Structure 1
Amino acid sequence: MKTAESLDSCYQAEKEIMEQHIQKTIDDVTRIIREKGDKLLGELKDEYDRRKVNLNAQLKELECVESDMSYAREYAEKLVHYGNAAQLMSAKKGISSQMEELLRMETKLDQTETDYMEFKPSDDFCQAKSLVCCVTTLQNSVHWLMFLSMPGLMRIDITLETGTRHKRCKMRVLKVDAVLTKPDESQENIVAADNGDSTWSLKTVATVVGTHEITVSVSKKPITRSPVTVRVIPQKGLICKFGRNGTGDGEFKDAFGVMVTRDGTIRVCDRGSRRLQTLTLNGQYQSTTTFSNIETTVSPDWSTVSEDGTIFTNDGIGGQVIVHDENGRVLRRFGKGVISYCFGIAISPLDSRVYVVGHDGHSIHIFDQDGNHCKSFGCEGQGQGQLRKPVGIAIDG
């Protein structure tokens, strides 16, 4: 009976844990689908706006043509009805010139603006495929379905689907050409296989790591969204490493905080050499930022950037936050006397407030971007809400 009671207790406890896990998984999947859906909606809106602008521009051109035609017609009608022979003869040259100019006018709609847009849902409820933009020409109708990097992340599969809504497409022989451009700019042709069900398959194997481009054309005309960029990365393991001990370019004396910027570079806080270094994602040195128009020595520990590009760097030894531009020109400072040895720093994407880690004070301090202290929280300890020598901080969306 004791064993049965223990089993019941264990079952209830595990059931509760599993239910919580299931609910969390449902919430995560829902969030992922919503994020992908919002991204697709954004792509659709961008494509719609682009085409709308192009159509409006063409419409204005056609309105100008229509105005010229109307003017020429009214002028000719008035001349025929009210003019005498002498006036007709004198206006002959002008009317002939206007007619020739009207005949030269281009009033045909740009073929690319007759394309239609179509969304292709996936059978996998966790996946949301890309927006499909179909190219409609007199010869064919072809669009991307999706491209997929296989589990090894080295094999690239692409599926194209011909537009079956246009029956004339079935009566024509489509010639599909594809070219793979490798990171070193070398190219190789990809054989397109007709699957016999209105789809074509392109398969190739990427032999090097890096950014590849695949260009596809049908009947020698590039299709919509071509070329497509495919980034090939290792499935696991070290991608690259960079830096060594020193004070030269790309060298570090005491590297601490690392930040990836919005423009795709890496900013490293090297407090040993009192500077920030900017490098590419592959570790190629770009520039160095040292602090100017400030009388004290700055020891950069962590750095972050605001929406307008202003950089906020923690001066660990000085116990303050240095606000500066990319050239190191100091704009303002704050936090001195409030922060006890500042370490990590982050800017909230929700309210743009600056969160600074007080390492020795076992607390987190919140400021607005002008440096006004809003509040602090945390105290020394190992309980809930307590901290002990905190170091880094990050804020999600």
Structure 2
Amino acid sequence: MEGINVADNRDGTYRVTVVGQLDGKCQVTMTIGDRPIPGCPAIIPVIKGLVKTIGSEGSAEGQYNKPWGVAINKDRDIVTADRENNRLQIITREGKFKKIMKFKQFKKPFSPRDIAISSDNTYYSLDDNNKQIVASDENGHVIRCFGQNELKDPYGIGISPVNGNVYVTDCGGNCVRVYTQHGKYLRSFGSYMYGEGQEQLNNPWGVVISTTGMVFVADWLNQRIHVFNAHDQYLYSFDCQSGDGKMRCPMGIAIENDKYIYVTTGSSMLKFGSSKFVCRIDSDSDGLNYPVGIALTDDVPCRVVVADTNNHCLKMFVQ
């Protein structure tokens, strides 16, 4: 069983129980008093797979040009690093345009590669053109910029739910760099020389941190997920080298309830339970072309939002 949801009315005269199952069906039972109503339990199919495509190529509102990173803000809207349009774009989960945020005060054009949002709704944009992290509020006002002294070629950004620290994968340095939200550089881990060893990364891309502080890094050219503990110590790595779960150059990464890991590769999206391959989320007919950023909503069942970079759109899947 995937999950059980129970709803009661206030006086307890009826109860609705929904059991989510792994085979894509839900079992729904409704009782009045202690008696089930006729026809219960009912088995209802659950829609899975691709449910929505949002946007098209262009620079107008609701359009994208090489979208990379995606995140969900406090209003449950989708925030996208619209890379080659040099902006952040915010839409509702239904695909309705809300806002565009541009930053034109930098030496080079703002070029967001990834986006992470803190618990107080501060936006942390990874601006690789200027080798910096741009912290801004939800209205697009820049609060601070940092990382210029350390970052060589930043690709992915994540915020720890444990201590709020900002983690950045530095592809050019083959390491992960850690900052406070106020911009203080704390440390880095991973080797500065690329390699295949336990402590080494080779062009790291996405990064995500669990509620226990475990750090999951998409180790792109090593074609694996590298896992470190809250003290930056190597724990283990995992991959899959056959079938639908073959991990070809992982890029984006997201975590669901510390239980499932979602990974984008060059042409697919994979789901792992801890370190074991569970399933492929997309199918060939969905036409993903270089999916990079990935974010999860809090819906039940979970919705997976992916930046389909070379198709210049977002795609939403139900899993």
Aligned partner of 2:196 in structure 1 is 382
**Cα distance in 2, alignment partners of residues 288 and 317 from structure 1:** 19
Shift of 1:293: 4.9
Q: Tell me which of 143, 158, 161 is aligned to 2:14.
A: 143
Specify whether residues 241 and 143 from structure 1 end up closer, same or farther in structure 2 by C-alpha distance, changes over 3 A only: same
Q: TM-score, normalised by structure 2?
A: 0.58
Amino acid at match of 1:142: T
SS of 1:240's equivalent in the other structure is strand
Q: Tell me which of 171, 195, 198 is aligned to 1:359.
A: 171
Cα deviations across residues 203-245 of structure 1 (Å, max 9, x unaligned)? Answer: 69899xxxxxxxxxxxxxxxxxxxxxxxx851x3321112221
SS of 1:393's equivalent in the other structure is strand
Q: Tell me which of 51, 54, 57 is aligned to 1:242.
A: 54
Specify whether residues 202 and 152 from structure 1 end up closer, same or farther in structure 2 by C-alpha distance, changes over 3 A only: farther
Higher strand share: 2
Shift of 1:148: 4.0
Structure 2: 5+ residue runs without aligned partners?
212-319
Aligned partner of 1:199 in structure 2 is 36
Shift of 1:261: 2.6
Shift of 1:152: 7.4
Q: Tell me which of 279, 284, 290 is aligned to 2:102.
A: 290
Q: TM-score, normalised by structure 1?
A: 0.47
Cα pair 2:5 2:19 within 8 Å, conserved: no
Shift of 1:346: 0.4
Specify whether residues 282 and 340 from structure 1 end up closer, same or farther in structure 2 by C-alpha distance, changes over 3 A only: same
Aligned partner of 1:274 in structure 2 is 86
Aligned partner of 2:231 in structure 1 is none
Aligned partner of 1:325 in structure 2 is 137
RMSD of the TM alignment (CA)? 2.9
Amino acid at match of 1:290: K
Cα pair 2:90 2:100 within 8 Å, conserved: yes
Q: In the alignment, does 2:69 pair up with 1:257?
A: yes
Structure with larger Rg: 1
Specify whether residues 373 and 149 from structure 1 end up closer, same or farther in structure 2 by C-alpha distance, changes over 3 A only: closer
Amino acid at match of 1:388: N
Aligned partner of 2:6 in structure 1 is 130
Aligned partner of 2:30 in structure 1 is 159
Aligned partner of 2:183 in structure 1 is 371
SS of 1:338's equivalent in the other structure is coil
Cα pair 2:83 2:112 within 8 Å, conserved: yes
Amino acid at match of 2:198: Q
Aligned partner of 1:177 in structure 2 is none
Aligned length: 209
Whose RCO is larger (CA < 8 A, sep 6+)?
Answer: 2
**Cα distance in 1, alignment partners of residues 76 and 82 from structure 2:** 19
Cα pair 1:294 1:330 within 8 Å, conserved: no
